[in-house]
Amino acid sequence: MIDFKPSINFWHDFKSNQIAGMWLFFGSRRALQIVRPSIPQLIVWGILGGCANTLFAWLSAGEVGEFNSQGLVSYALWPFIALIVGIFLSQRINNPRLMLVPALLWLVLDTHVALLQSLIQYLGMMDWLPYLLYDYLPILFMVLFVWQSLAVVWVFARELQWPWWERALIIIATLFTLVVWQISAKSQPIWKVDEVPPSISEAAIYAQPKVLNKALDSIQFGEFAQSHWYFLGVAGASYQDVFKSEVERIREQFDTRFGTFGRSMVLINHPATRDTQPIASKTSIEMALKRIGQQMNRESDVLFLYMTSHGLPNQFELENAPIDLAYVEPKWLRDTLDKSGIRWRVIVISSCFSGSFVSALQDENTLVITAAAADRESFGCSNEADYTYFGRALFDEAMREQHSFESAFLQAKDTVAKWEAAQGFEPSEPQWAMGKNMQLMLPQLEQRLFPAQNNTAP
């Protein structure tokens, strides 16, 4: 028999219910010993829960969201079900005060969980969370939501000493209800972002030829007496920000540290750059490689080609909806490079299954590096990230610490393996393939990238 303590005053009851919600989070029956149910408490915690969830929905939607009153109706579905359960339980054990308890405890715990989620979401927006945590945020939020409902069932099942089959049945029913609620909440959030079909503006249509020609014209000749690096970055998929961010950051790194300013260009698929940067397509890649091949000294200059996107076996994704773009295949890329006349090549491809490009691209004058083996996925593609896992490990860390491509690759490979092991991912197994001529030539070319090593050598 559950014996609830009598109400004292509003604020005392409020504090007791708050403490009861904390005990509920840990699945403790002590929550039922502390809770003080009343209609005013139910109303107040219902308002607080709605406000806390509205805050979380607003932070999740960002600046582009709009308030959706239907979302509050959807939110009220679960406490309403908890109230019905309370009515059933109060009739079953003949305790009228029990009627409000399931809904009240759920609202108390939900309010605190929503505030915790809001804090985590805000820290993520400010980029104050550990990089590896971003991929787990949706899972964390889902676990918190599921547990707050199961905790109510668990506490009552233990307190009322239900038989095992009854506990199992009510838990299954609860999980089913959670799925239905989650589907409803997803389609009707409290702060809604209306999905807008992808489109391309008239300005972008006319700007693209000018932007591409300007980028091509900016590629300078290399001085005959020196070896120069030329950089071409390709961000393939427009629907995730990480590829655009990664290519821009790596280009800046090459221009400022490795002397490619005036000899670099990027091709980016992203809605924000359609007026300012040439899009990444087979046509623009071919034109860029042709231009670089015309401007560089074939005998002494080298191309650094970096491509980042999603991928499939023998496919590198180019996507910029609503434009219909063909994917890049290994044979096409090899043929295009050969036609450009570029002799010395360092090619880095960051995508899932990128190792499937190695056999087609490797030759005596080429170094090929891929983020994954031919049958493996790579990781770290999210809108919150500035780099993919491999891009961060190689360029943002190893290339700033090591003094050769080989040592940087080995460090990056080890770093990525540690990150993947920590998260339980299947190893991506980055690949390295270097031709025998490039093996002899690379130390000379690296003097432009790693001058510190050359200055300190005996």
Q: What is the pLDDT of residues 391-401, one digit of tens each?
A: 999 999 999 88
Tell me the pTM.
Answer: 0.62
pLDDT in tens, 167-188: 788 888 877 777 776 665 666 6
Q: What does the pLDDT read at residue 456?
A: 38
Q: What percent of the chain has pLDDT over 90?
A: 55
Q: What does the pLDDT read at residue 203?
A: 85
User: With bands split at pLDDT 50, 70 and 90, how would you rate the model's confidence at 17?
Assistant: very high
The token pair at 328 is 């890049």
pLDDT in tens, 199-243: 788 888 889 999 999 999 999 987 767 889 999 999 999 999 999
User: With bands split at pLDDT 50, 70 and 90, how would you rate the model's confidence at 76?
Assistant: confident
- Residue 30's identity, in one-letter code, is R
User: With bands split at pLDDT 50, 70 and 90, how would you rate the model's confidence at 131?
Assistant: low
Q: At 306, phi and psi to the nearest 5?
A: -120, 125
3-state SS assignment for residue 242: helix
Higher pLDDT, 100 or 129: 100
pLDDT at 448 > cutoff 70:
no
Q: Give the mean model confidence (pLDDT) for residues 251-270.
A: 93
pLDDT in tens, 346-369: 999 999 999 999 999 999 999 999
Q: What does the pLDDT read at residue 186?
A: 62
pLDDT in tens, 112-126: 999 999 999 888 877
pLDDT at 433 > cutoff 90:
yes
Q: What does the pLDDT read at residue 458?
A: 31
DSSP-derived secondary structure letter, 99: G
63-88: b (≥16 Cβ within 10 Å) or e:
eebeebeebeebbeebbebbbebbbe
Q: Give the mean model confidence (pLDDT) for residues 53-82.
A: 82
- What is the 3 state secondary structure string of 269-316? CCHHHCCCCCCCCHHHHHHHHHHHHHHCCCCCCEEEEEEECCEECCEE
pLDDT in tens, 398-430: 998 888 899 999 999 999 999 999 888 899 999
Pairing of strands 311-312, 264-268: unpaired
Name the residue among 57, 71, 52 with its Cα closest to residue 187. 71
Q: What does the pLDDT read at residue 359?
A: 95
Delineate the domains of the chain, giving CATH numbers in brackets: 10-192 (no CATH), 202-456 (3.40.50.1460)
Give the DSSP H/E element, type plus range, for residue 379.
none
Q: What does the pLDDT read at residue 454?
A: 45
What is the torsional sign of CA 201, 381, 258, 301?
negative
Least confident residue range of 131-140, 333-342, 371-380: 131-140
Q: Give the mean model confidence (pLDDT) for residues 68-94.
A: 83
In Å, what is the CA distance from 46 to each residue of 42, 70, 79, 80, 90?
A: 6, 16, 8, 10, 20
pLDDT at 375 > cutoff 60:
yes
Mean pLDDT of the chain: 88
Cα separation of 104 and 87, whole Å? 13
Question: For the range 278-282, what are the long-range contacts, defined as Cβ-Cβ under 8 Å and sequence gap of 24 or more?
Answer: 278/208, 278/211, 278/212, 278/215, 279/208, 279/320, 279/323, 280/234, 280/235, 280/236, 280/318, 280/320, 280/325, 281/318, 281/320, 281/323, 281/325, 281/326, 282/318, 282/325, 282/326, 282/328, 282/332
Q: What does the pLDDT read at residue 152?
A: 86
DSSP characters over 355-378: GGGHHHH--TTEEEEESS-TT---
pLDDT at 141 > cutoff 80:
yes
Q: Give the mean model confidence (pLDDT) for residues 378-403.
A: 89
- Residue 88's identity, in one-letter code, is F
Q: What does the pLDDT read at residue 302?
A: 95
pLDDT at 327 > cutoff 70:
yes
